Amino acid sequence: MAGVSSEQRRLADRYVLGTRIGAGGMGEVWRATDSVLDRQVAVKTIDLSRVSDESAAARFEREARVTAGMSHPGVVTVHDSGVEGDTAYLVMELLPGPTLSERMSEGPLPVEEVVEVGRQVSSALAAAHARGLVHRDIKPANVAYAADGRVRVLDFGITQLADSTDVPSLTATHTVMGTAEYLAPEQAMGGRVDGRADLYALGCVLYALLVGGPPFRGPTAVATMMMHANDAVPDVQEARPDTPNWLADLVSSLLAKDPEHRPSGAAAVAAALTARTAPAAGATAVLPTTGTTQPLESAATRVATPPPPPPPLPEPAGRGSSWIVGVVVVVLLVALLGWWLSTLDLSGSADDTPSPTSSTSTAGTPTPSDTPSESTPSTEPTTESPTPTPTPSDSESPSPPKTSSPSIPPSAAPSVSPTGE
């Protein structure tokens, strides 16, 4: 953009502001000269009169010191900072450029260059988030090429310390810091943000580098912010068909409306861009702010997780010993059957043996009593015998075999005792 003269404004009686080389949010960036060291620098100025918070100046200085303590090849070097009147300023190294915004004016970038820019920016964000810093204004104008060909992330001076609770935010009431086209939905709604807002802005930057413009752009800043909050994420492959599938998936995950659906952190994004694969949705929190609750595990994971399987049905009682019971029952049945068969045999021999009354015959017919009987085992059928057949109880203790004797009339037959007397 064309430089705008500052009419030789001087800050801290040292930094002479030359032309304005950038503007956005609450600040402006000037090309300046350090009259003490005689070198060209970039000076970011912020008008504190637009911030109602009385402690904003002290907070800015505190955050500037934290930013100056960062040492990363992807973060611009901070030389100095301070507050003069209602102007807070941050002195940084002056990069030869161009910025990504100036590169986009020539058209979309090659896919390979977009991947490398994204890897370097996400690596820088990972380093900042590890120190508790959230940039809150990632956009093409805040990323510039250095003399070594790498890109640097600019303007960490208006960041918010993610874990600060002792001082109010630099953001004033009803004031949203950032640029509407690259603003996360939660940031657009004026809520507190964490590092995942930077990831959303990075998704917008990658989309813009691939397509030539941001994913959402309305007629006004407010309309644009509402689009971030409500409109569906456009498919980058529709506007840039040669975008690899993994890169399109990565951009879509970065642009998720819900912070919990975005990747787990800037380091995971850098690793995905190096491996050329889309990272999974966040499983761990990135810089949780005060008042937010853990887990900031991926809501996508939580929604997509299937319900737990039903508990297994209980086994029938005694299933393990049922075969033993069956064997015992079979043994008992066999034993009972054997006993019944033995009783049946004894009963049969008693029925087949002629009773003493049947031994009397007609005259002239010899009777079985004239023929001597032979002793046979009690378990087999016996031959006809004139002696009375013992009862089943006699089978347990059989009497000695007896010799044949004359038939005795039924009326005179004596009773037979178990002992045979």
**Predicted confidence (pLDDT) per residue in 404-419, tens digit:** 444 444 444 444 344 3
CA distance 198 to 75: 14
Element (H, E) at 339: helix 322-352
Q: Is the pLDDT of residue 202 over 70?
A: yes
CA distance 43 to 50: 19
Q: Is the pLDDT of residue 116 over 90?
A: yes
So which residues are the catalytic ones? 137
**3-state SS class at 239:** helix
- Which residues face 151 on adjacent strands? 145
One-letter amino acid of 61: E
Q: What is the mean predicted confidence (pLDDT) over 88-107?
A: 92
| CA geometry: angle 231, 235, 236, nearest 5 deg | 125
Higher-scoring residue by pLDDT: 329, 13: 13
- Give percent of the chain with pLDDT exceeding 90: 40
Per the prediction, the chain carries an average pLDDT of 73
Q: Which token pair is 219? A: 């007629």
pLDDT at res. 59: 73
CA distance 361 to 218: 134
The total of other beta-carbon atoms located within 10 Å of residue 206's CB is 28
The region of weakest confidence among 58-72, 180-194, 254-268 is 58-72
CA 62 from centroid of its chain's CA atoms? 38
pLDDT at res. 178: 66
The region of weakest confidence among 43-57, 98-112, 140-154, 311-325 is 311-325
pLDDT at res. 312: 52
One-letter amino acid of 346: L
One-letter amino acid of 199: L
- Give percent of the chain with pLDDT exceeding 70: 61
pLDDT at res. 417: 41
| CA geometry: angle 190, 193, 197, nearest 5 deg | 105
Q: Is the pLDDT of residue 396 over 50?
A: no
CA torsion sign for 27, 30, 33, 37 is: positive
- Which residues face 88 on adjacent strands? 46, 83
Q: Which token pair is 235? A: 């498919």
Of 173-182, 191-200, 353-362, 385-394, the range with the highest mean pLDDT is: 191-200
Higher-scoring residue by pLDDT: 85, 170: 85
Q: Which residue has the tokens 């840039």?
A: 240
Q: Which token pair is 326? A: 């069956």
